[in-house]
Amino acid sequence: MKLLYFAWIRVKMGVSGEHIDPPKNIEDIEGLINWIKQRNPVSNEAFSDISNIRFAVNQEYVDIDHPVQAGDEIAFFPPMTGG
């Protein structure tokens, strides 16, 4: 599973992305976030306010209950500010 971080989430995490191999019982974005957070204080802090984080799975916007699986590209970012 490939994780990507953008904008202030990238800054807080200190990396733009990482490859991970989470436990098999993780089924959706919410479960994945909870697993990411419990790894270390940096991750816990970066994901402390989920209401300000948006998600994409394989480059499509999804909700927090969207399923995740091995091989997915999962991105975390703040609300977009383009244009």
Q: Is 1 in the site for another protein (CB under 8 A)?
A: no
Do the strands 2-5 and 60-62 form a parallel or antiparallel pair, or are they unpaired? Answer: unpaired
Shortest CB 80 distance to another protein, Å: 6
Taking CB under 8 A as the criterion, the residue among 23, 41, 71, 79 binding another protein is: 79
Q: Considering only residues 53-72, where is the footprint of another protein by CB under 8 A?
A: 56, 59, 61
CB crowding 38-56: b at 16 or more within 10 Å, else e: eeeeebeebbeeeeebbbb
Q: Is 51 in the site for another protein (CB under 8 A)?
A: no
Q: Is 77 in the site for another protein (CB under 8 A)?
A: yes
Question: Counting beta carbons within 10 angstroms of the beta carbon of residue 37, is it exposed (0 to 12), middle (13 to 18) or buried (19 or more)?
Answer: middle
Instruction: Name which of 17 and 31 has its Cβ closer to another protein.
Output: 17
How many helices (H) and strands (E) the chain has is answered by 3, 5
Task: Give contact residues for another protein (rule: CB under 8 A).
Answer: 4, 6-8, 10, 56, 59, 61, 75, 77-83
